[in-house]
Structure 1
Amino acid sequence: MDEAFSALDPLIRRQMQDELMAIQSKLHKTILFITHDLNEALRLGNRVCILRDGKVIQIGTPEEILTEPADGYVAEFVQDVDQGRVIDVGKIMHPAVLLDTSLTLAECLDTLGKRRGGFVCDTDGRPTGMLTKTDAATALASGTTELASVLRTDFDSTTAAARFNDNYAAAGRGIPIAVVDDAGCLVGELEPQEIMEEMGRVEQLVDGFEREVFL
Structure 2
Amino acid sequence: MNAPAPGTLHLIPVSLGDAPPERWLPAEARTLAGQLDTYIAENAKTARAFLKAIGTVRPIQEITIHTLDAKTDERDIAAWLKPVAAGGRIGLVSEAGCPAVADPGARVARAAHEMGIRVQPWVGPSSLLLGLMASGLDGQRFAFHGYAPVDAAERARQLRDWEQASARYNQTQMLIETPYRNAAMHAALLATLRPTTLLCVARSLTTDREWIKTLSIADWKRQPAPQLDKQPTLFLFLARK
Structure with the bigger percentage of strand: 2
Same fold per TM (> 0.5)?
Answer: no
What TM-score do the two structures reach when normalised by structure 2?
A: 0.24
What TM-score do the two structures reach when normalised by structure 1?
A: 0.27
Bigger-Rg structure (1/2): 1
